[in-house]
Amino acid sequence: MHRFALRFALLGLAFGVASAAPAAFAQDNGAPDGTSAPVQQHRAPDPQKQAARLARRLGLSDDQSAKLAAILQNRQQQMAAVRGDASLAPQDRRAKARSIQEDSDTQINAMLTPDQQKQYAAIKQAMRDRRQNARAESNASGDAGNSADSDGH
């Protein structure tokens, strides 16, 4: 159960980064044929719920929880604006999303105690590791199909 809660908290953080790497979540967005659905269909997590999960995980005070909720709400609004901006090239969209993520992380770290900062860094690192493992598995399964085709010819 504790492991599930950790995964859920990490998943919430991952959604903030998802617009910076839409291909990493292409199979998780419900596209039945395994193709990537448009990023605009991505449903961002509720910032209040995300803040509550992180507050429990990090042991935040009520004041810290309120500040976190405001930061996450602001981040979600900015990310939605970036995702909805059709004038941006994909690389510019990723760069803006990454900048928003970094800014919100800076704001979050500024309100955390040193111990909470370490926990938050560990949560983010675990999320990055999971995302990289998922990408590697996805690439390996795609490469296995391609190498079987090339071996057969």
Q: What is the average pLDDT across 120-130?
A: 92
pLDDT tens readout for residues 51-110 = 999 999 999 999 999 999 999 999 999 999 999 999 999 999 999 999 999 999 999 999
Q: How far is CA 92 from CA 83, 85, 139, in A?
A: 11, 10, 24
pLDDT band at 2 (very low <50, low <70, confident <90, very high): low
Three-point CA angle 13, 9, 6, nearest 5°: 135
Q: Bigger pLDDT: 122 or 37?
A: 122
Single pTM value for the model: 0.62
Q: Bigger pLDDT: 37 or 100?
A: 100
Domain ranges of the chain: 1-24+39-115
Q: Over the chain, what is the mean pLDDT?
A: 76
* The pLDDT of residue 34: 44
Q: How far is CA 26 from CA 22, 41, 70, 91, in A?
A: 6, 11, 28, 17
Q: How far is CA 11 from CA 7, 22, 42, 103, 126, in A?
A: 6, 14, 13, 19, 10
| Residue 110, φ and ψ in degrees, nearest 5 | -65, -25
